[in-house]
């Protein structure tokens, strides 16, 4: 790849775009919030398969007009006859509840019903799970920060962490905008995104550091340009192979993995973008030059 792309030309534009995206995401997260699944909100989730494939979603919905369930949410899930039902009631307050509900539904829609999956999470456990999820993400960010701080200089550490936070906020923001359900597997996805985005950033930072030592007269942005270009084909190839694997899960991996793989796909795209357009410019803002590296080595 001989033709060079002057990425630094777009840094300013990209940064304004990123800041806007982060602000919009935060606004959405603040005002609209996330669509928490039963893992974090508590309640009951049922995945059901109806023998009679002609049953329409409205029929099922009207069969579920049982006041004690609370807010009921029904949606199609994969093939015809498969539905996902969520309601607020904790089904385990009464041990017979699930059996009774199954009979009620099958009587009302006049078809046999198979409960393929039942998940019930009590209010206490769900709030614990949410706390755990947030702690895990925060801890992962802190651990990454620490690792980069040891391996590089603090400016790099800051650059990568800004990129990471940027990725996490925008991913969650998109989840909020699309009202995509957030559950335990999304936390796993976000953590993997953190790992992936970091991975991407580190590769570019490694090269920037190497080039800073190689070229003493160039400006930070020029070094960033050279480095991003040198690593560009790797960035593209790795993103491509990862996306190939992820799309294969998204399309073929079944309904349960859809949310997870969707989050990962978003994360890989945002993470790749942020390594180039967020992490690298930060170094320029902190005026990282050869001197920065040498000074730190003296200490």
Please report, as ranges, the residues that interact with other proteins according to CB under 8 A. 47, 91-92, 95-96, 98-99, 114-122, 124-125, 129, 132-133, 135-136, 139-140, 143-144, 147, 151, 184-185, 187-188, 191-192, 194-196, 198-200, 202-203, 206-207, 210, 230-231, 233-234, 237-238, 240-246, 248-249, 251-254, 256-257, 260-261, 264
Which CB atom, from 28 or from 194, has the smaller least distance to other proteins?
194
Q: Cβ 187 to other proteins, closest distance in Å?
A: 7
8 vs 211, beta carbon nearer other proteins = 211
Distance of CA 294 to the CA centre of its chain: 37
To the nearest whole angstrom, how small is the minimum distance from the Cβ of residue 151 to other proteins?
Answer: 6
Q: Which is nearer to other proteins, 174 or 194 (CB)?
A: 194
Report yes or no: 90 and 42 within 8 Å, Cβ to Cβ: yes
CA 288 to chain centre: 30
Query: Residue 184 Cβ, how far from other proteins at the closest point, in Å?
Result: 5
CB of 25 or CB of 227, closer to other proteins: 227
* Vertex 30 angle, CA 170 and 162, to 5°: 35
Taking the complex as a whole, the smallest distance from the CB of residue 20 to other proteins amounts, in Å, to 28
Alpha-helical (H) ranges within the chain are 8-31, 38-41, 57-63, 97-109, 123-151, 154-177, 184-214, 220-252, 258-274, 280-285, 290-298
Query: Minimum distance between the CB of residue 289 and other proteins, rounded to whole angstroms?
Result: 21
Contacts by 153-158 with C-beta closer than 8 Å and gap 24+?
153/288, 153/292, 153/293, 153/296, 155/282, 155/283, 155/286, 155/288, 155/292, 156/205, 156/209, 156/283, 156/288, 158/282, 158/286
Q: How far is the CB of 95 from other proteins (least distance, A)?
A: 4
Nearer to other proteins, 96 or 217 (CB): 96
Looking at the Cβ atoms of 28 and 209, the one nearer to other proteins is 209
């Amino acid at each position: 790849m001989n033709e060079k792309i002057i990425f630094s030309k777009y840094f300013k534009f990209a940064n304004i775009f990123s800041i806007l995206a982060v602000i919009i995401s935060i606004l959405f997260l603040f005002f609209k919030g996330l669509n928490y699944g039963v893992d974090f909100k508590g309640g009951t989730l049922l995945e059901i398969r109806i023998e009679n494939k002609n049953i329409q979603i409205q029929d099922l919905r009207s069969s579920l007009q049982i006041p004690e369930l609370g807010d009921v949410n029904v949606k199609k899930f994969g093939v015809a006859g498969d539905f996902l039902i969520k309601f607020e009631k904790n089904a385990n307050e009464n041990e017979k509840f699930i059996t009774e509900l199954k009979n009620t539904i099958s009587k009302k829609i006049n078809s046999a019903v198979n409960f393929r999956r039942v998940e019930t999470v009590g209010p206490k456990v769900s709030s614990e799970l949410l706390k755990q999820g947030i702690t895990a993400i925060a801890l992962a960010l802190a651990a990454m920060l620490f690792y980069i701080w040891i391996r590089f200089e603090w400016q790099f550490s800051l650059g990568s962490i800004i990129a990471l936070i940027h990725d996490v906020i925008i991913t969650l923001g998109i989840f909020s905008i699309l009202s995509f359900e957030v559950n335990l597997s999304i936390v796993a996805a976000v953590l993997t995104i953190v790992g992936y985005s970091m991975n991407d950033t580190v590769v570019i930072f490694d090269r920037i550091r190497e080039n800073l030592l190689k070229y003493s007269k160039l400006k930070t942005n020029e070094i960033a340009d050279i480095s991003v270009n040198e690593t560009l084909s790797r960035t593209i190839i790795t993103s491509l192979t990862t996306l190939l694997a992820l799309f294969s899960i998204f399309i073929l991996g079944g309904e349960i993995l859809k949310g997870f793989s969707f989050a990962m796909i978003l994360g890989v795209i945002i993470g790749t973008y942020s390594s180039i357009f967020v992490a690298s410019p930060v170094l320029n803002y902190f005026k990282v030059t050869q001197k920065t590296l040498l000074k730190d080595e003296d200490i």
